Amino acid sequence: MTKVYNPKEIEKKWQEYWYANKVFETTEDDSRKKFYGLIEFPYPSGAGLHVGHIRAFSSMEVISRKRRLQGYNVLFPIGYDAFGLPTENYAIKTKQHPRIVTDNNIKKFETQLKAIGYSFDWDRTIDTTDEGYYKWTQWIFLQLFKKGLAYKSKTLVNFCPECKVVLANEESQNGVCDRCGSEVIQKEKDVWFLRIRNYADRLLEGLTDLDFLEKIKVEQQNWIGKSCGAEVEFTIKGGGKEYPLVVYTTRPDTIYGATFLVVSPEHPMIQSFAGSIGNFDEIRDYQQQAKLKKEFERVHLAKEKSGVRIDGITAVNPITGCDIPVFTADYVMMDYGTGAIMAVPAHDTRDYEFAKKYSLPIIEVIKGGDIEKEAYIAKDGGIMVNSGFLNGLSVPEAIDAMTAYMKKLGVGTPKTDFKMKDWAFNRQRYWGEPIPIINCPKCGQVPMDEKDLPLVLPKLEDFSPTDDASSPLSKVTEWVNTTCPVCGGPATRETDTMPQWAGSSWYYLRYMSPRDGEHVVNPEAYKYWGQVDWYNGGMEHVTRHLIYSRFWNMFLYDIGVVTNAEPYLRRSAQGLILGADGEKMSKSRNNVVNPDDVIKEYGADVLRLFTLFIGDYEKSAPWNPDAIKGCSRFLNKLWNLMDIIKEGDVADVNIDLCIKKVDDDFESLKFNTAIAQVMSTVNDIYQRGYVTKSEFKKLLIILNPIVPHITSEIYEIINGGAKIERQKWPSYDESKLAKDEVDIPVQLNGKLKGRITVSATASREDALEAVNKSTGILEGKNIIKVIYVEGKIINIVAR
């Protein structure tokens, strides 16, 4: 009898061995194929690791360990995305410096990660708040600035009065601050933007060849939101003046049905007709109202359309020559298209609603719907009517015909637009990368000299935010005041810092050469590691981080820093672990599971096993504390196999099938079924009563990526000290996957009636013979048809 399984003891032993001997350290090695596996590096919060992290990291951990056993040279790194608000807020609350808080949190994370036995190359650890790191974040920003892709612009921004910080659109969805949940207000501010819209088309097209989960592609496509249409010029007449008003439409085919025109309340056209507009006071009131409405109300709460007719001006339809009235309404947004639309109520739901409310004419130009009841969109179906030369055409034909006609007349041009907005790239907070720009009264915005990077974040005693939405850095006059690198005159530094998305937009490159002081990424290292082979992360980051980092990589490709336009070849996503109550884990719900507690009770291997066994990896699954026992029992059973090792006939246990299943399932992230297969195989082994050493070794190796401690220990014990990580991933014998004799179901008229045992390659006649012999179901029956699928089923249709 061997000693009992003691996870605490063996896990400590193996972790010490791995980390002290740097077993997972990696260097470029041309003699071996490379594999670069990436996980989203964590934000080191004070709360420490969460079981969700474990699940998120475990897929690439398993794949990386498997790849090593398969002979690959594996880069599997870890780092910390450590700039950001929570740390800063916590630091303010506890009166510590964010640097101290960050360092402590990182230490805590590292201890926890090591206690789980992850096979990271710890020597490559990076930290976005490290000067040697953010030097290069700033360097990339400078290149963007020099290429005209970073600009400052006055706009209304989402401002959180609680966090006192300007938020990106994506951080203030539904008009609520992502961080604190308070209501966001609109504030005018000078803000840095990155011209990500310039890359919209390439970001969209680049998706085609990538092995990203389909739903990730779809979300990115929706986020980018490309629409193809045309800009059409209407002429506004009033008070003897003419004004060319350009509207944006995706449906030029419906122009014969345009019965009015709507401009956004902010549209400059209104002001230019100030003198000729009869109801200008009313219009001004409406503009004021629209301005007061927060974005949230305007978009989400305004169930009913509102608007005002602009008296004294009319618009001329460039195709029909007809005069139509002009309205202003806040359902038209200034920041999309041209801020003006031609309204076709018969074929657009919003225009329909507006026309009904203000009793405007509705002209049907596409047959097929019932415009008495509702607008008929008819994107793919329907035939044009009441539309001059378009009559009789289908909608797609009419779109092409009208676009060409407008172009010929010179009143319209094809135009694509994107929903995605430029990336608001700054925060008025302390704990972020300083923006390396100097404002000179003579020379304007001047980039810092690259030689002077990093621009170090000054040590600050009081870094709490200011009430006037300016950065705490503006208080450090000795830091702010500097000289202009161009003219040498007195100048001031930019005091805003970069958003948290900055550091994470290029971290996958830094891992390739984490300590290189001369390059963003060392060219030799890049040449070897190239693209990330497989990136796993959360669905919550596929529209922001994943697009932002693809954008930065494309830019670095354009300026010759990297040689691949796309950073990630494959991207998968894990499902959330929900609380035992089926709700998302959160402190406020008090349903958070701390991995330390699980390790304490069951050990790290059980934790690793359970987070992967809990359900389909790509779907969310609730944490069931009772079910952990099953995983613990299984590891005990695995351990106790040592008591029944015996050489013998290997029949009855299909180890080849098990290897194949595990091999395939790992590659498609079906860890739950891979584990189930191994459990079944172990059950079969106990049923048989003994395990052969060769079977046992194979089992240990295929399980090693998931439960490395116990498998390392058993392997060492049964093989006189041999190390499992030096072994080869087992192959399986194709010919042994299928059995020679099979038990197949017998159906009569599609209903299960019994089973027969036949050779896997038995003929139809043999199978039918076997049915006759072993069952009496065919007696007195008239056979009409026999369906026989070799090795699968026999179904007899009979009366």
Of 26-45, which residues contact RNA (CB under 7 A)? none
Q: By CB under 7 A, tell whether 300 contacts RNA.
A: yes
Looking only at residues 649 through 678 of this chain, which bind RNA when binding is defined by CB under 7 A?
670, 672-673, 675-676
Q: How far is it, in rounded angstroms, from Cα 475 to Cα 463?
A: 9
Q: By CB under 7 A, tell whether 406 contacts RNA.
A: no
Closest CA to 98 of 22, 45, 174: 45
The site for RNA, by CB under 7 A, has a size of 83
Rg (CA), the chain: 33
Q: By CB under 7 A, tell whether 3 contacts RNA.
A: no
Q: Which DSSP category does 668 fall into? A: T
Residue 12 or 298 having the CB closest to RNA? 298
Convert residues 413-442 into a mask of x (bound to RNA by CB under 7 A) and - (unbound): ----x-x-----------------------
DSSP run (H or E) holding 311: strand 308-316
Name residues whose C-beta falls within 8 Å of residue 235's C-beta, 6 or more positions apart in sequence: 242, 243, 244, 245, 315, 316, 318
Convert residues 674-693 into a mask of x (bound to RNA by CB under 7 A) and - (unbound): -xx--xx--x--x-------
Residue 30 or 626 having the CB closest to RNA? 626
Task: Kindly tell me which residue out of 361, 381, 396, 745 binds RNA, with binding defined by CB under 7 A.
Answer: 745
Convert residues 453-492 into a mask of x (bound to RNA by CB under 7 A) and - (unbound): ----------------------------------------
What's the number of CA atoms in the CB half-sphere (13 Å) around residue 730? Answer: 24
Least Å distance, CB 120 to RNA, is 28
Residue with the two structure tokens 């390059």: 519
Residues pairing with 191 in the sheet: 153
DSSP run (H or E) holding 755: strand 751-759
Looking only at residues 238 through 267 of this chain, which bind RNA when binding is defined by CB under 7 A?
248-251, 264
Task: Kindly tell me which residue out of 61, 171, 253, 330 binds RNA, with binding defined by CB under 7 A.
Answer: 330
Q: How far is it, in rounded angstroms, from Cα 420 to Cα 224?
A: 5
Q: How far is it, in rounded angstroms, from Cα 682 to Cα 646?
A: 15
Q: For the chain, give the number of residues.
A: 799
Looking only at residues 194 through 233 of this chain, which bind RNA when binding is defined by CB under 7 A?
214-215, 218-219, 222-223, 225, 227, 229
Convert residues 758-797 into a mask of x (bound to RNA by CB under 7 A) and - (unbound): ---------------------------x-x-x--xx-x-x
Task: Kindly tell me which residue out of 95, 751, 773, 799 binds RNA, with binding defined by CB under 7 A.
Answer: 751
Q: How far is it, in rounded angstroms, from Cα 572 to Cα 539?
A: 9
Residue 75 or 332 having the CB closest to RNA? 332
Least Å distance, CB 392 to RNA, is 23
| Phi, psi at 242, each rounded to 5° | -125, 145
Which of the ranges 295-303, 315-323, 391-399, 510-518 carries the binding residues for RNA, by CB under 7 A? 295-303
In the chain, what are the helix, strand and coil shares in percent, each to the nearest 5?
Answer: 40, 20, 40
Q: How far is it, in rounded angstroms, from Cα 794 to Cα 797?
A: 10
Q: By CB under 7 A, tell whether 641 contacts RNA.
A: no
Q: By CB under 7 A, tell whether 540 contacts RNA.
A: yes
Residue 271 or 683 having the CB closest to RNA? 683
Least Å distance, CB 265 to RNA, is 11
Q: By CB under 7 A, tell whether 614 contacts RNA.
A: yes
Q: How far is it, in rounded angstroms, from Cα 109 to Cα 54?
A: 12
Looking only at residues 54 through 113 of this chain, which bind RNA when binding is defined by CB under 7 A?
none
Alpha helices in 264-323 (DSSP H): 268-272, 280-292, 295-296
Q: How far is it, in rounded angstroms, from Cα 13 to Cα 262?
A: 73
Q: How far is it, in rounded angstroms, from Cα 127 to Cα 689?
A: 52
DSSP run (H or E) holding 685: helix 671-688
Q: By CB under 7 A, tell whether 704 contacts RNA.
A: no
Least Å distance, CB 472 to RNA, is 30
